[in-house]
Structure 1
Amino acid sequence: MLEPDSRDQGRKHLAEALRELRKAAGLSGERLAARAAMSQSKVSRIESGKVLPTVVDVERIVTALGVPSEVATELLSLARAANVDYASWRSYARVGLWRKQAELKALAASSATVRQFLPVIPSGLIQAPDYARAVLTPAVEGNPARNIERAVKARLDSQEVLEDESRRFHFLLTEQAISWQRAEPGVMASQLRHMAGLLDRQNLDLSIIPGGVTVRASPLNVFVVYDDRLVIVELFSGEVALRDPQDVSYHLNLFDYFRERAVSGDDARQILETAADQFMRARD
């Protein structure tokens, strides 16, 4: 993964290399655009570094320029690296984790459709206050300290985006995600009933993959897809942002695969209520 400085340098190098290759080929921006089936303005923005080209964009350009295969391979590698951003939780903690919550709210507010795949934990957008407080409290050595109350407030504030009925939210959980005990039983029961209360929202689809269903794909990571333009994948140490259309398309296909094996509506409500009752019995 690339830290910010090296990532920005990689983008600059890619833009400069594409511009120099075009000049070496004796082509104008207009001629290259015609050969690559792009607009001249897009070629110009790519070469100036104002627009980050996708791997497909670079492939079309190097094909149009007829560059040697070894050069094309290097440029495609640069493009793949430039289209992946990595940010560690440590870097977020340095500036305040609450700022990350504001960023997530802005991302959701700028998207018509948000799809969240949640194999191990409910989304911050559907967390009740006490549950959010529990999951935002560091539990493992090396997990950066944070202002917990400020982070909780920012997380709850971010949930305002759900009130915008012009946007569509899909929350896809595994049964493990609702049964993994991240807090004391009473808090867990309240969280599950909070989610059950969201099932009637018209702009929200909350579905659960039951434990007894055969699922041949592995639920490796939490990921969020914003429209068809961006994927955020969560890791233990941070998160990766993917912008390449092929990566986005793959995650949309993954989401659809898992969603086809999930239940929603009254069936999801039954799973949530049953799990909530089990936690309440454990409390007693």
Structure 2
Amino acid sequence: MWEPDGKPPRELADALRDIRRPAGLSGDRLAARCAMSQCKISRIETGRVLPSVDEVERILAALEVPGEVAREITALARRANVQYQSWRTYAQKGLWRRQAELKMLADSSRVVRQFLPAIPSGLLQTERYARAALQPSVPSDSVWDVEKAVRARTERQETLWDEERSFSFVLTEQAVRWRYASAEIMAEQCRHMAELAQRPNVDLAVIPLSAEVVAAPLHVFVIYDERLVTVEMLSGGVALREPQDISYYLDLFAKFRQSALAGSDAVHLLELVAHGFMRERD
């Protein structure tokens, strides 16, 4: 899971709690020294909130922790705030479990932003498209059961119908056009996205091939509220929680969004691409 429930976050919470007690400071007094609330200190020490590296450094300074110990805890904070998982890990667990984890992340967020340079999000995929897209990457290992993964991916989409949550998708035109399936399935996928783009809680934008962009669209990234960014690479994924990292990706997402067609313009482009695929089929 990308959420702060792994070994480094737990170790960090334990370490911060253990160094405060010998110092003889109450949670209230430490909070005052760090310009934090006592409630936040408590949530950090119990592992319910993952502190940023900056917050950890403020706590260490307030407790006057010796240099070597402070460096060890700061390094632990950095590991806790940046997690990497390889696709081999997902393969061992089963791809369907990864879909369940992603659903939990979306269900726990009010605003989800996704930048998609090469393929539509699983939240946007039809069942037939998802099956075709997953098939080439699935080895013979039985834990990577395609049908189970497709069902889990389809279940993820239930969160789109919760209008208390909002979803913003920015795709490149290449992501829309790249052939992962037959022309018929591709046309169906484009029409499906055009329909979803008209939902009140969905903002779907497409960067046309002719657009000038501010940065190279190298990786898929997803922003959950303003608390977590996941970046997908060929070898695996990275989770970022540092405020500076989140701010960077929020700004990058906004800039890509400015280069994109949205609303009726995006729907029109998707319908044109769908029509093109249907002509190919004929």
User: 1:215 aligns to what?
Assistant: 213
User: 1:247 aligns to what?
Assistant: 245
* 4+ residue runs over 6 A deviation: 140-145
2:134 to 119, 133, 136: 136
How big is the shift at 1:223? Answer: 1.1
Question: SS state of the match for residue 128, structure 2?
Answer: helix
Q: 1:40 to 1:202 in 2, by over 3 A?
A: closer
User: 2:36 aligns to what?
Assistant: 38
For residues 1-284 of structure 1, what are the structure 2 equivalents within 5 Å? 8=7, 10-19=8-17, 21-22=19-20, 27-67=25-65, 72-139=70-137, 146-284=144-282
With 12-21 and 185-194 compared, the bigger mean Cα shift is at: 12-21
- Measured in 1, the distance between the counterparts of 2:142 and 2:66 equals 47
For residues 120-150 of structure 1, give each alpha carbon's deviation from its aligned partner in whole angstroms, at most 9, with x where no partner exists: 1101111111111011113487999611111
- Measured in 2, the distance between the counterparts of 1:236 and 1:147 equals 20
1:138/1:145 contact within 8 Å kept:
no
- Measured in 2, the distance between the counterparts of 1:142 and 1:255 equals 36
- Measured in 2, the distance between the counterparts of 1:258 and 1:198 equals 20
2:53/2:78 contact within 8 Å kept:
yes
How big is the shift at 1:47? Answer: 3.8
Q: 1:238 to 1:75 in 2, by over 3 A?
A: same
- Measured in 2, the distance between the counterparts of 1:82 and 1:278 equals 47
How big is the shift at 1:74? Answer: 4.5
2:206/2:260 contact within 8 Å kept:
yes
For residues 18-51 of structure 1, give each alpha carbon's deviation from its aligned partner in whole angstroms, at most 9, with x where no partner exists: 4455456554433222110122343344345454
How big is the shift at 1:85? Answer: 2.4
1:116/1:223 contact within 8 Å kept:
yes
- TM-score, normalised by the number of residues in structure 1: 0.86
For residues 215-267 of structure 1, give each alpha carbon's deviation from its aligned partner in whole angstroms, at most 9, with x where no partner exists: 12121211111111121221223322222222222211111111111111221
- Measured in 2, the distance between the counterparts of 1:103 and 1:20 equals 31
Q: 1:19 to 1:196 in 2, by over 3 A?
A: closer
Aligned length: 280
* Structure 2 residue identity aligned to 1:199: A
Q: 1:152 to 1:23 in 2, by over 3 A?
A: closer
Q: 1:268 to 1:12 in 2, by over 3 A?
A: closer
Question: SS state of the match for residue 138, structure 1?
Answer: helix
Percent of aligned pairs with the same amino acid? 59
